[in-house]
């Protein structure tokens, strides 16, 4: 999908056309036209995978008309409301120097952006769904670097120095190649040179130990495990047969990379096809991979060969289906694969007990997809383990920190809580020269800076939440509480008035005297007059206050109930229709949710549901009126609660952020470390942005007095000079 924008040379914004994206956009627009915007549904667990600008793409797919309505049909309009470009000096990827680079680094108005996005997005997070997923135990396994790894790290530092000096051709070596070699070295030194020794305590060996331990713990239940590794994956054997020539020493191999180049191929020297080292009659040795190394060690530890499998061995959908079925049944106990091949769509969670992240991917989405293989519905284990491995003093620590920084702004969007007002997108964070040297040298200040960066970010979010709470308290004291108090006081006055009205229109009390028959006098002659009754019995009953229906007064309860029922049957509208009065209150009827509701209006409104029973309707109406004292007591309690909240808000408003001193101290230390790590005067990637106000103004240049002899120049010439 072609991105029309005037923003040129902005990192992360590509204006090249992708056919599949354009095709998707055209189909979405067509479906929106024929379904009035209800024909497209996207379902994904990671809508924003790596950069926040991806949200604009999703909004174009799903709410194009809404963006047009709000004047944000073009990316530039969207970006001007929610994003800010920052121009800073950054190290060029080829390592030849520094250059100004413009990229999206800050995003604002996140609450408004999320309100717009949620018109088409139903975001359900794990804390909202509360699905029956297993509890995850995280284990971080840190390994000490070997002596050879330490020497190779120093060699990386030397290479970075040479690249920084500009004395090497970027096609031979650059910062990206150094970063790639650093990732390989952080995984295992044998990836650089398979002839190097396999030393104990490396993270690969510690991973094997954990796999075997989990295998033994779950042997009775045939529990399974996944191992993710994106580096040193299995490769098909080369077509050419033969042996390679002599190998260089480890330092020289790392300096020149694998395959005689700095890129890091599988073999160290170029094939001597025309020299005395190449023997085509002998079969070429199999390339070293971490996958095969782990499999052989697991088999040596007691596992059956058929219990260990690679996802790369399943090349078709049928083969994958068979492999996944074996993992679900426990026939395959350990499955190794990369994020690309074993991430989304791998449903083997039934018996999964442990997951091992042997290396760190580049994108936060990859980690989420990895975790989603085991923390998933259908897993029969209540508690599962996730192991993450890192080699100290290498690129591993920085890679994990980079992914964490990328995840910061994504988490602020994909959350069930209210987003903060602004966040920073660090998707384009790169390794600067100074950071590489300090990291490769094992500088402890790098670790301190990482920890401080996390702490400062958390404190800033806490401070923003505190400030939002203060603003909310101020709003409550100025507007919300007074309005609510006045409203409740009005309710109280209205109910008291209605109660007085109800008391003035009671149902009449009917007293009926029933004479008791006198007993016959003893010895009274037959046919004589009986004696007067000795007593009179009284029967007390409640009468009917009367009801007016459509101008006709009804004094009898049965007749009034029947007239009310007939009047209700004529009402078909949801709007209230006045039909009469009862006990000092006007009556109106409306239809709501296929039921007739009657409202009695005085100072307040009292509602009652109506049915088909004549006497039952009148009883419901009287019950609604008799509940006024109960409603009055409830509103008085709510009013007392409002007064208590108001007093509590007065006590809390104006309080400073309790961790302000800690934030100030850690921010100062973070700035100090940023300055200290700026080694050899090299520029870091977070130099001050070139603000618009600091740029030279063309208008000011036009207002400057003309130089002598310049009065003959035309305005066009002056403009060209400026």
Q: 């964070």: which residue's tokens?
A: 429
Does residue 142 have a pLDDT over 70?
A: yes
Question: Looking at per-residue confidence, does 626 or 703 come out higher?
Answer: 626
pLDDT tier at 15, thresholds 50, 70, 90 = low
**Residue 154, helix vs strand vs coil:** helix
Q: Which of 251-260, 505-514, 567-576, 617-626 has the lowest mean pLDDT?
A: 251-260
**Of 59-63, 153-157, 318-322, 519-523, the least confident:** 519-523
Going by pLDDT thresholds of 50, 70 and 90, the confidence category of residue 51 is: low
Left, alpha or beta for 393 (phi > 0: left; psi -120 to 50: alpha)? left
pLDDT digits (tens, 9 = 90+) for 489-536: 999 999 999 999 999 888 888 777 766 665 655 555 555 555 555 556
Q: What confidence score (pLDDT) does residue 307 get?
A: 93
pLDDT at 636: 93
Picking from 24, 34, 35, the residue whose alpha carbon sits closest to that of residue 61 is 24
The answer, yes or no, to whether residue 351 has pLDDT greater than 70, is yes
Distances (CA, A) of 515 to 159, 509, 522, 535, 541: 122, 19, 21, 7, 17
- The residue among 98 and 653 whose pLDDT is bigger is 653
**Residue 445 in contact with residue 671, Cβ under 8 Å?**
no
Residue 433 is predicted with a pLDDT of 41
List Cα–Cα distances, 318 to 239, 315, 325, 350, 351, in angstroms: 27, 8, 11, 20, 21
pLDDT of residue 177: 83
What pLDDT does residue 674 have?
77
Q: For position 442, what pLDDT does the model report? A: 58
Residue 161 reports pLDDT greater than 80: no
pLDDT of residue 629: 93
| pLDDT class of 422 with cuts at 50, 70, 90 | low
pLDDT at 666: 92
How many residues are recorded in the chain? 722
Find, among 146, 322, 294, the residue nearest to 231 by Cα. Answer: 294
End-to-end alpha carbon distance in the chain: 38
> Which residues have C-beta within 8 Å of that of residue 86, sequence separation ≥ 6?
102, 103, 104, 105, 106, 689
Residue by residue, DSSP assigns 33-99 as: HHHTS-S-----S-SSSS-TTHHHHHHHHH-HHHHHHTT--SHHHHHHHHEEEEEEEEE-TTSS-EE
Least trusted range by pLDDT, from 103-107, 301-305, 473-477, 673-677? 103-107
Average pLDDT of 219-239? 81
Task: Quote the pLDDT of residue 517.
Answer: 62
What per-residue confidence (pLDDT) applies to 152?
Answer: 85
CA dihedral 147, 151, 157, 159 (to 10 degrees): -150
Whether the pLDDT of residue 649 is over 50: the answer is: yes
Q: Say if CB 677 and CB 687 are below 8 A apart.
A: no
| Least confident segment among 11-15, 119-123, 339-343 | 11-15
Q: Residue 262: its pLDDT value, please? A: 37
Model confidence band, residue 673 (pLDDT cutoffs 50, 70, 90): confident
Whether pTM > 0.75 for this model: the answer is: no
Strands 577-582 and 509-515, sheet pairing: unpaired
Q: Where along the chain do its domains lie?
A: 451-511+535-658
Task: Give the separation between CA 542 and CA 509, rounded to whole angstroms.
Answer: 5
Residues with Cβ within 8 Å of residue 521, at least 6 apart in sequence: 531
Contacts of residue 519, defined as CB under 8 A and 6 or more positions apart, other chains included, come to: 534
- As a whole number, the mean pLDDT across the chain is 75
Return the closest-CA partner of residue 286 out of 338, 233, 236. 236
**Predicted local distance difference test score (pLDDT) of residue 239:** 42
Phi-psi region for residue 264, left (φ > 0), alpha (ψ -120 to 50) or beta? left
**pLDDT: which is higher, 646 or 52:** 646
| 143 contacts 389 by C-beta, under 8 angstroms | yes
Cα separation of 237 and 435, whole Å? 38
Over 70: is that where the pLDDT of 613 sits?
yes
Tokens 């998933």 belong to which residue?
376
Mean pLDDT of 64-85: 83
Task: Average the pLDDT over 404-416 and give the result.
Answer: 59
Q: What percent of the chain has pLDDT over 90?
A: 20
Q: What is the pLDDT of residue 356?
A: 94
| Tokens describing residue 235 | 């490769």
Pairing mode, if any, of strands 552-554 and 547-549? antiparallel
């Amino acid at each position: 999908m072609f991105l029309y924008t005037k923003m040129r040379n902005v990192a992360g914004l590509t204006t090249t056309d992708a056919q599949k994206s354009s095709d998707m956009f055209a189909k979405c627009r067509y479906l929106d036209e024929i379904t009035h915007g209800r024909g497209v549904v996207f379902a994904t667990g990671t809508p924003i995978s790596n950069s926040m600008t991806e949200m604009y793409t999703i909004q174009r797919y799903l709410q194009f008309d809404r963006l047009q309505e709000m004047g944000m049909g073009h990316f530039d309009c969207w970006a001007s409301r929610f994003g800010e470009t920052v121009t800073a000096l950054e190290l060029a990827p080829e390592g030849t120097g520094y250059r100004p680079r413009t990229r999206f680094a800050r995003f604002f108005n996140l609450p408004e952006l999320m309100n717009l996005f949620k018109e088409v997005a139903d975001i359900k997070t794990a804390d909202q769904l509360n699905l029956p997923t297993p509890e995850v135990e995280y284990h971080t396994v840190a390994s000490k670097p070997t002596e050879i790894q330490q020497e190779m790290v120093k060699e990386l530092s030397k290479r970075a120095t040479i690249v920084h000096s500009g004395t090497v051709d970027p096609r031979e070596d650059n910062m990206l190649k150094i970063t790639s070699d650093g990732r390989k070295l952080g995984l295992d030194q044998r990836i650089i040179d398979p002839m190097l020794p396999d030393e104990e305590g490396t993270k690969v060996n510690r991973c094997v130990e954990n796999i075997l331990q989990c295998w033994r713990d779950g042997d009775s239940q045939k529990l399974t495990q996944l191992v993710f590794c994106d580096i040193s994956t299995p490769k098909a054997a080369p077509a050419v047969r033969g042996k390679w020539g002599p190998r260089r020493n480890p330092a020289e191999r790392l300096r020149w990379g694998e395959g005689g180049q700095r890129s890091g191929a599988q073999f160290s020297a170029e094939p001597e096809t025309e020299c005395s080292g190449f023997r085509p009659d002998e079969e070429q040795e199999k390339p070293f991979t971490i996958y095969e190394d782990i499999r052989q060690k697991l088999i040596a530890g007691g596992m059956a060969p058929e219990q260990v499998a690679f996802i790369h061995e399943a090349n078709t959908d049928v083969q994958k289906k068979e492999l996944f079925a074996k993992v679900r049944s426990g026939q395959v106990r350990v499955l190794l694969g990369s994020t690309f091949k074993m991430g989304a769509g791998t449903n083997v969670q039934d018996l999964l007990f442990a997951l091992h992240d042997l290396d760190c991917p580049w994108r936060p989405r990859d980690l989420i997809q990895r975790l989603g293989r085991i923390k998933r519905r259908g897993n029969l284990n209540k508690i599962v383990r996730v192991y993450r491995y890192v080699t100290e003093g290498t690129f591993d620590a920085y890679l994990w920190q980079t992914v964490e920084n990328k995840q910061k702004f994504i988490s602020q969007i994909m959350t069930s809580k209210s987003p903060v007002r602004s966040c920073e997108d660090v998707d384009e964070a790169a390794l600067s020269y100074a950071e590489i040297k300090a990291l490769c040298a094992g500088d402890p200040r790098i670790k301190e800076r990482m920890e401080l960066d996390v702490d400062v970010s958390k404190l800033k979010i806490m401070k923003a939440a505190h400030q939002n709470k203060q603003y909310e308290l101020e709003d409550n004291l100025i507007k919300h509480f007074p309005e609510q108090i006045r409203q409740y006081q009005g309710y109280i006055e209205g109910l008291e008035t209605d109660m007085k009205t109800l008391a003035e229109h009671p149902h009449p009390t009917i007293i009926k005297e029933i004479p008791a028959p006198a007993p016959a006098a003893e010895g009274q002659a037959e046919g004589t007059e009986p004696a007067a009754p000795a007593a009179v019995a009284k029967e007390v009953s409640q009468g009917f206050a009367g009801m007016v229906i459509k101008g006709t007064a009804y004094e009898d309860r049965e007749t009034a109930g029947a007239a009310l029922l007939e009047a209700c049957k004529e009402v078909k509208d949801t709007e209230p229709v006045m039909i009469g009065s009862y006990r000092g209150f006007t009556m109106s009827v409306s239809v709501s949710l296929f039921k007739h509701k009657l409202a009695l209006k005085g100072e307040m409104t009292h509602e009652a549901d109506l049915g088909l029973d004549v006497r039952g309707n009148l009883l419901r109406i009287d019950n609604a009126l008799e509940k006024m004292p109960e409603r009055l007591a409830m509103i008085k309690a709510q009013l007392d609660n409002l007064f208590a909240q108001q007093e509590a808000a007065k006590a809390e408003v104006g309080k400073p952020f309790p961790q302000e001193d800690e934030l100030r101290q850690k921010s100062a230390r973070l700035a100090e470390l940023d300055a200290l790590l700026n080694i050899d005067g090299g520029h870091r990637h977070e130099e001050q942005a070139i603000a618009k106000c600091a740029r030279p103004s063309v208008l000011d240049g036009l207002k400057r007095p003309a130089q002598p002899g310049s009065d003959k120049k035309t305005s066009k010439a002056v403009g060209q000079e400026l």
